[in-house]
Amino acid sequence: MSNDNHGYTAAEWAARIELAACYRIFAHLGWDELIYNHITLRLPGDEKHFLINPFGLHYSEVTASNLVKIDLQGRVVGHSDWPVNPAGFTVHRAIHEHVDNAHCVMHTHTTAGMAVACSQEGLSMSNFYSAQLYGQLAYHDFEGITVHAEETPRLLNNIGNKRAVILRNHGLLALGSTVPRAFAVLWLLNRACEIQLASTSMGAVRLIAPEIQQACARDSLQFNEKFGAGQDVFDALTRQIERIDPSYQT
């Protein structure tokens, strides 16, 4: 361990740097919700420990060192100058514990995402972005503020093996084996919602045939290993954040 890592192992510090960058990217994109919502990341190793944002800080204030380490029960591991919002970890905990390779979970309340989540039809398979999510999208009905563990079995059943989730009347959720993979899914889902919000304001939309949707999902650069499966775009955004304010690395 190095002093530059604030006493953390190299693996944990790298995870902290990446997640802090992600919080800054969310703030830059306008995906933050004051001090609320979460991006959580499972740390490497056998222990089921996770990183989460310090409750009370804006996403633009998150740094590698102030991210809070918690266990599956949402209890702080080690020392933190900040509390966490354990109620907000309810959904994340269920997914981290029970969904294969869900090492990163992201949740947003963007205007476009919530608008589509509140619509009767949900996501319209009518644009370039939504088509790339063919076979990847799940829905979960709203049961109130997500603080009750008894909702977990229904949530997990609805998610199945999908990686993009519309929480009806609530918002968007994405999960992935890495931060960039989860980000790629969420970016596509949110972008699809933005286009739907704009296109449906003009009247009826033209739906994309299922076989074309399937081809779009197969050919999408967001999921293509040859193009980094989200890593390249996440790296580019991280470089942008570093130019704006490199303090996320501290």
Q: What pLDDT, on the 0 to 100 scale, is given for residue 86?
A: 73
Q: Residue 21 pLDDT > 90, yes or no?
A: yes
pLDDT category of residue 2 using cuts at 50, 70 and 90: very low
CA distance 224 to 213: 16
Q: What pLDDT, on the 0 to 100 scale, is given for residue 4?
A: 77
Question: What does the pLDDT look like over 89-111, one tens digit per residue?
Answer: 889 999 999 999 999 999 999 99
Q: What pLDDT, on the 0 to 100 scale, is given for residue 12?
A: 97
Contact indicator for 92, 68 with CB cutoff of 8 Å: no
Burial grade of 131 (CB within 10 A; 0-12, 13-18, 19 or more): buried
Question: What does the pLDDT look like over 42-101, one tens digit per residue?
Answer: 999 989 999 999 999 999 999 999 999 999 999 999 999 999 987 778 899 999 999 999
Q: Residue 239 pLDDT > 70, yes or no?
A: yes
Beta-strand ranges (E) seen in 17-124 are 39-42, 50-52, 68-70, 104-108
pLDDT category of residue 225 using cuts at 50, 70 and 90: low
Cα dihedral 59, 247, 233, 194 in deg (nearest 10): 30
Give CA 155 to chain center in angstroms. Answer: 16
Q: What pLDDT, on the 0 to 100 scale, is given for residue 224?
A: 67
CA distance 87 to 92: 10
CA separation (Å) from 46 to 69, 74, 177, 217? 15, 17, 16, 33
Q: Residue 3 pLDDT > 70, yes or no?
A: no
State the DSSP H helix or E strand holding residue 17, giving kind and residue range, or none if neither.
Answer: helix 10-29
Q: Residue 122 pLDDT > 70, yes or no?
A: yes
Average pLDDT over residues 159-179: 96
The encoded tokens of residue 191 equal 């972008």
If you average pLDDT over every residue of the chain, what do you get?
93
Average pLDDT over residues 16-42: 97
Contact indicator for 58, 34 with CB cutoff of 8 Å: yes
Q: What's this model's pTM, rounded to 2 decimal places?
A: 0.94
32-41, 135-144, 214-223 — which is least confidently predicted? 214-223
